[in-house]
Structure 1
């Protein structure tokens, strides 16, 4: 039984073992920063909203409780299924999206790697669900933000005795919440993700809450433009396998000086950084201006083949992606068509969802319609690409 904080050391591998990983982390941070210049700020905000839905899809998929992207989109428009189980999954998905927004706001006042933040994340999610939607298969109703008051077993792992959780969480905060350079911070986030999962502070909802905490901690690096969740969900067995491997006790004198395995924690950091590398590379390729122009053209051609849009829409749609919102007059002018025909093209582009506008007179901005995602962001919701 784990009862003393020294039993989950090391909280981070020894410094001399991290040189290679810091170099990789630095490259990830720099490449992530470059993403911010690949689209206009308004387009980036539209992408963030899309990725919140995607994060919900993937985090719930990891827990075996995901619904389809179309069902999530419908729920965001208050269109819930008449089938109770699908409607329940839709409510869970929407709750996750709103919880993600809340933890982003909370991170402005509470350091995300402060152990208190995990209770904020858990509460942000479960306080948005009614008792029926937060009842486990065993009939236990999960109370938002309430640390467990019972001992549990998770697979082969026995988390700390519930009475000792405050002591473990104080040690967690003392180590992980201190300021660090961005490359070292990324490694600390990776380690904190494992150690918080190891603590298993709640009766249920630990995985979702930990991923919400990680999302908030990663925000200064990702800016919401790419997601660790997507990478973790691409290989759930690998994710859980690396978590479990880092749970193991120290394997002899060459395996660090803590109670738990340093080798397993290093392998977890390596895995986490590989996920980050893959996701930054994916989104960099998706948002590259040349490739996006080609994809916008393909999306317009698909709508044109249905008789819904004209190919003259390609240039103004690409312009609002790269340069930001345009007035309706500017959009029509960029089509190169006459006023009446140009208005018809704008109306069709709005109807197809490739552009959006807040009102009938407001400027036109780029959008990511669900039906066009296989063209605009191929494999965004794919697992095996």
Structure 2
């Protein structure tokens, strides 16, 4: 039974979705639909880039790697970083770049099924192709090391692993398990409610199979992000599942405990069919979706998009000695982008004066563009992000709704 792919059953709820999970899926869909509403898509895209940095920061934190957001930014810009902190920054950079590609596929309607073998191997491959050399080997007993081949499942005998009390399938059975995983989760694509519930269950079951020698947690979190986009709860890229998993609802140890709980074997006839406990799966899905809902609400409160323009104007007014600068920032934030030659019309001033105002805002990092002559877009410079979005990378409380009480507690 341990080497039979059906060992990972149940994968979702075949008879009927528990009411608490159906209600959570609806609540999550509604909250995600509201996130980003009223913000121009181009401005939302720039803000989503900030969320990617936050996502990679917390994903690293789950792995025990404490990376400074400023170092992540410097790695993305190709700037010099202290040698001691450089590997962790490059690891986080890899996460950001993979997620950025996933988001681009989602925006273009080209995102494949995230639970497919091809997609999962692609995520691992592009992630590890960008990883620093230090993180491309794993330690083995006897002081030996094994290389992590990007995108390759653990197929050789030296890739047998134990994760806590859990014994994943042996290397010779990984392909069969992943084929079963792909086939079963393809069925969830046919129902809207199952697509959301499958985000949680697939997250656990992929880690249960542990298909790669290393990087399974990171791949599962990126897969979950892609599944959220595919299920229509991506919230314009403005929320992060990694932050919620790293923090939990009450304490940082919840993620590990809930993953371990979902490993539980079936507890007798009352626990439905399958090798694993359906009751434990329900608990895990409820916890995971509650974490997701909590993060959507956090982002809604944190970004406070209804007052973002007011905050940004106040910031620019304090920093830039040019009374026209707040008006230009407001226009770009509202309209997403602005051709440089139209700045004078917005400011109702001469071309030269408008050009000077625009150049100053670009130099200070409040506006950005792909080339010196391309239209400008809003930017969220790191030096002032705490002013615009306080406590984004900290544990301080903000005025957001309390997480719901879980029914199994």
Q: Superposed, which structure 2 residues align to 1:1-385 within 5 Å?
A: 2-83=2-83, 85-103=84-102, 108=110, 110-129=112-131, 131-138=133-140, 139-148=145-154, 149=156, 150-178=159-187, 179-220=189-230, 221=232, 222=234, 223-235=236-248, 236-303=252-319, 308-310=320-322, 312-328=324-340, 330-335=342-347, 342-385=354-397
How far off is 1:200 after superposition?
A: 0.8
- Deviations along 1:10-31, one digit per CA (max 9) or x if unpaired, are 1113543522312221232233
Q: For residues 172 and 347 of structure 1, do their structure 2 counterparts lie closer, same or farther at Cα, with a shift above 3 Å needed?
A: same
Q: Does structure 1 conserve the Cα–Cα contact (< 8 Å) formed by 2:20 and 2:286?
A: no
Q: Does structure 1 conserve the Cα–Cα contact (< 8 Å) formed by 2:343 and 2:351?
A: no
Q: For residues 65 and 141 of structure 1, do their structure 2 counterparts lie closer, same or farther at Cα, with a shift above 3 Å needed?
A: farther
How far off is 1:273 after superposition?
A: 1.0
How far off is 1:242 after superposition?
A: 0.8
Larger mean Cα displacement after TM superposition, 152-161 or 277-286? 277-286
How far off is 1:51 after superposition?
A: 2.4
Larger mean Cα displacement after TM superposition, 150-159 or 219-228? 219-228
Q: For residues 274 and 109 of structure 1, do their structure 2 counterparts lie closer, same or farther at Cα, with a shift above 3 Å needed?
A: closer
Q: For residues 318 and 228 of structure 1, do their structure 2 counterparts lie closer, same or farther at Cα, with a shift above 3 Å needed?
A: same
- For the residues of structure 1 that align with 2:70 and 2:125, how far apart are their CA atoms? 26
Larger mean Cα displacement after TM superposition, 142-151 or 325-334? 325-334
- For the residues of structure 1 that align with 2:363 and 2:139, how far apart are their CA atoms? 42
Secondary structure at the aligned position of 2:213 is classed as coil
- Deviations along 1:122-179, one digit per CA (max 9) or x if unpaired, are 1111122354331235533212122113321111111122222222212211211222
Q: TM-score, normalised by structure 1?
A: 0.89
RMSD: 2.6
- For the residues of structure 1 that align with 2:105 and 2:151, how far apart are their CA atoms? 14
Q: For residues 58 and 277 of structure 1, do their structure 2 counterparts lie closer, same or farther at Cα, with a shift above 3 Å needed?
A: same
- For the residues of structure 1 that align with 2:65 and 2:126, how far apart are their CA atoms? 18
Count, aligned residues: 380
How far off is 1:350 after superposition?
A: 1.8
How far off is 1:69 after superposition?
A: 1.0
Secondary structure at the aligned position of 1:140 is classed as strand
- For the residues of structure 2 that align with 1:153 and 1:100, how far apart are their CA atoms? 28
Q: Does structure 2 conserve the Cα–Cα contact (< 8 Å) formed by 1:76 and 1:94?
A: yes
Secondary structure at the aligned position of 1:219 is classed as helix
How far off is 1:334 after superposition?
A: 4.2
Larger mean Cα displacement after TM superposition, 21-30 or 322-331? 322-331
- For the residues of structure 2 that align with 1:346 and 1:137, how far apart are their CA atoms? 53
- Deviations along 1:321-342, one digit per CA (max 9) or x if unpaired, are 1222223454455456676655
- For the residues of structure 2 that align with 1:317 and 1:106, how far apart are their CA atoms? 29
Q: For residues 312 and 282 of structure 1, do their structure 2 counterparts lie closer, same or farther at Cα, with a shift above 3 Å needed?
A: farther
Q: For residues 334 and 145 of structure 1, do their structure 2 counterparts lie closer, same or farther at Cα, with a shift above 3 Å needed?
A: same
Q: Does structure 2 conserve the Cα–Cα contact (< 8 Å) formed by 1:326 and 1:363?
A: yes
Provide structure 2 residue ranges, at least 5 long, that are not aligned to the other structure. 398-409
Q: For residues 182 and 298 of structure 1, do their structure 2 counterparts lie closer, same or farther at Cα, with a shift above 3 Å needed?
A: farther
Larger mean Cα displacement after TM superposition, 328-337 or 215-224? 328-337
How far off is 1:121 after superposition?
A: 1.4
Q: TM-score, normalised by structure 2?
A: 0.84
